[in-house]
Amino acid sequence: MTEKEQVLKLFPRGLRMVLEQMELDFELVQELRLRVGQPFLAVGAGCEYMIGIQGQIVDKDGGSPLIISREQMRETVEYMGSFSLYALEEELRQGFFTVQGGHRIGVAGRTVAQGGAVRLMKHISFLNVRVARQKKGCADDIMDSLYSEERRFLNTLILSPPRCGKTTLLRDIIRQVSDGHYSSLRQCRLGGMTVGVVDERSELGACFEGVPQNDLGMRTDVLDCCPKSQGMMMLVRTMAPAAVAVDEIGSREETEAVEYALNCGCSLAATIHAGSLEEAMGKTDIGRLLEKGAFRRIVLLKGNGQAGQIQDIFDENGKRVPWGGDKWKG
């Protein structure tokens, strides 16, 4: 089943027919956003598109966009939840649930809190369908730059603004570190290693019923929907990973868990939201790790809306590291 078929089957008949006729190339679609009383939107390639009642792309200044009704929202939520939202209650408290194929459904609406924590989600009025699209090989050009001369994976931090492909790139790095890969620089194959992944928001592995829908490699263990600060320490203690991977670190608790993993001898791969090395240094807890030289490789992505495009790679001293073709072509 193709990605498009997987996504279309999530929607009830009326909206499915609109999406089947959609003029936009589905390969460009990263998100489908539904809001009660607002136009049906598709997001992709750094652009936003309003979808018309017959699937046409509508100009913001004219045309007839499809306005999502409360009944359409109710029907869509029930359909996506296989008419059993009670079974998804735990996931809904976190604001999302993952469906077969790894596609993630973000939800918002009225929450009921108890003791300072969200107890349940009611009157869901906003949906964000994030299309799971793994790009195998997107890390090929930088893999050799992420290893030492002794062939050890170096602690790596990926920086970029939102929607620029940090998670996509990290996912492929995990796969290649786990399976092993051919090194163009060394003209040999580098062996794989055990990788522990803490996937707090189910974006890396996109687990469905505990099984990753994305290929993270044959030596990878995943803690799904687990807080990063707890998960890193759990994996180190129980699964003996050679490397730990985690998406979007930032809090003090998370950076302390990063230090714990590093002190236990694990290599680390992580991402943060930042548009530059200077911006990353300005973040209190991350800046402290960078100043200590915790990350030997810092990968900066281009902020042009195109997923996973590399701008530069730096070492722990802020010095540029050659990567890709310019490294071994001289």
* Annotated domain spans of the chain: 3-130, 143-328
Alpha helices in the chain (DSSP H): 3-8, 13-20, 70-80, 89-92, 166-179, 228-238, 252-263, 277-281, 284-291, 325-328
Whether 270 and 158 have beta carbons less than 8 Å apart is answered as yes
The per-residue pLDDT for range 203-256, each reduced to its tens digit, is 899 888 889 999 999 999 999 989 999 999 999 999 999 999 999 998 999 999
Whether 196 and 244 have beta carbons less than 8 Å apart is answered as yes
Question: CA-to-CA distance for 182 and 147, rounded, in angstroms?
Answer: 12
Higher pLDDT, 71 or 305: 71
CATH 3.40.50.300 fits 143-328, yes or no: yes
The per-residue pLDDT for range 94-148, each reduced to its tens digit, is 888 888 888 889 999 988 887 777 777 788 999 999 998 888 999 999 999 999 9
Distances (CA, A) of 200 to 8, 80, 96, 222: 26, 21, 11, 10
Report which DSSP code applies to 11: S
Q: Among 265, 70, 271, which Cα is nearest to 156's? A: 271
What angle is formed at CA 206 by the lines to CA 203 and CA 208, rounded to 5 degrees? 150
CATH 1.10.3470 fits 3-130, yes or no: no
Q: Which of 64-73, 87-96, 237-246 has the lowest mean pLDDT?
A: 87-96
In sequence order, the 6+-apart residues with CB closer than 8 A to the CB of 30 are 43, 44, 45, 130, 131, 133, 163, 307
What is this structure's pTM? 0.83
310 - beta bridge partners? Answer: 301
Interval 31-56 mean pLDDT:
93
Whether 142 and 179 have beta carbons less than 8 Å apart is answered as no
* Residue showing tokens 């998406």: 247
35 is written with which tokens? Answer: 């809001």
pLDDT at 326 over 60: no
User: In 10 A of CB 129, how many CB atoms?
Assistant: 21
Long-range contacts of 18-22 (CB under 8 A, 24+ apart): 18/51, 18/53, 18/54, 18/55, 18/66, 19/51, 19/55, 20/55, 21/54, 21/55, 21/56, 22/51, 22/55, 22/57
